[in-house]
Structure 1
Amino acid sequence: MTADDSFGRLDDDDYPAYTMGRAAEMLGTTQGFLRAIGEARLITPLRSAGGHRRYSRYQLRIAARARELVDNGTPIEAACRIIILEDQLEEAQRINAEHRRTAGPSGPPVS
């Protein structure tokens, strides 16, 4: 892989570009918070060759949402569950919209 290939991957939302320290700094939180939401299985950071946690931009958005809920008084376990349910609802809505688009007009046939 060339340097140009590596830089191109930085546009990938799922590319694990951020160390735990940098991720915590960007979110204004602690590394312990990131570990806690990892233990709650809200996000699963990838590991570098040296075993260090690495986070993607997508994971940082999820972590930021968790931090928002926790900062507003929601226990971390509940915050994680809320985010998982929000994600499931969004996916179900996407699937329903796709079914409506592909099904076309519905209703009883006109006689």
Structure 2
Amino acid sequence: MTADDSFGRPDDDDYPAYAMGRAAEMLGTTQGFLRAIGEARLITPLRSAGGHRRYSRYRLRIAARARELVDQGAPIEAACRIIILEDQLEEARSINAEHRHTAESATPTAAA
């Protein structure tokens, strides 16, 4: 099974639709930048049957955020760490909101 076979349609956010050259072009960056954020483990591109890196729209959004931080002066490693922490914070907020909702649903209301 190739990377392309493991996902749904090309309009799927996780579909590995873009080769490295096209992805770099879309982001206005270099292939070296994409390799660097891959080495920093921010994103892991899928591989085609021929071993070429392939990027989904989801991964490109993450790469675009990294480029934004690097353009603002952050080293690549710091930009990657910031994005990972932002993602963890968002996940924690989501979990907290879910727990609040569950707690509010479980609290009996007083009869008037």
Is the shorter-chain TM-score for this pair beyond 0.5, marking a shared fold? yes
Q: Any gaps of 5 or more consecutive residues in structure 1?
A: 1-7
How far is 1:42 from its partner?
Answer: 0.1
Aligned pair count reads 102
How far is 1:102 from its partner?
Answer: 1.1
Identify the residue that residue 65 of structure 1 maps to in structure 2.
65
| Alpha-carbon distance between aligned partners in 2 of 1:86 and 1:106, rounded to the nearest angstrom | 30
SS of residue matched to 2:54? strand
Identify the residue that residue 16 of structure 2 maps to in structure 1.
16
The 10-residue stretch of structure 1 (10-19 or 64-73) with the greater mean CA deviation from structure 2 = 10-19
SS of residue matched to 1:104? helix
Aligned Cα RMSD in Å? 1.8
1:49-88 equivalent positions in 2, closer than 5 A: 49-88=49-88
SS of residue matched to 2:15? coil
| Alpha-carbon distance between aligned partners in 2 of 1:90 and 1:66, rounded to the nearest angstrom | 17
Q: Any gaps of 5 or more consecutive residues in structure 2?
A: 1-7
Identify the residue that residue 99 of structure 1 maps to in structure 2.
99
SS of residue matched to 1:22? helix
| Alpha-carbon distance between aligned partners in 2 of 1:72 and 1:35, rounded to the nearest angstrom | 20
Identify the residue that residue 38 of structure 1 maps to in structure 2.
38
Which 4+ residue blocks in structure 1 deviate beyond 4 angstroms? Answer: none
| Alpha-carbon distance between aligned partners in 2 of 1:82 and 1:45, rounded to the nearest angstrom | 20
| Alpha-carbon distance between aligned partners in 2 of 1:105 and 1:25, rounded to the nearest angstrom | 48
Supply the AA of the counterpart residue of 2:36: A
How far is 1:105 from its partner?
Answer: 6.4
Supply the AA of the counterpart residue of 2:20: M
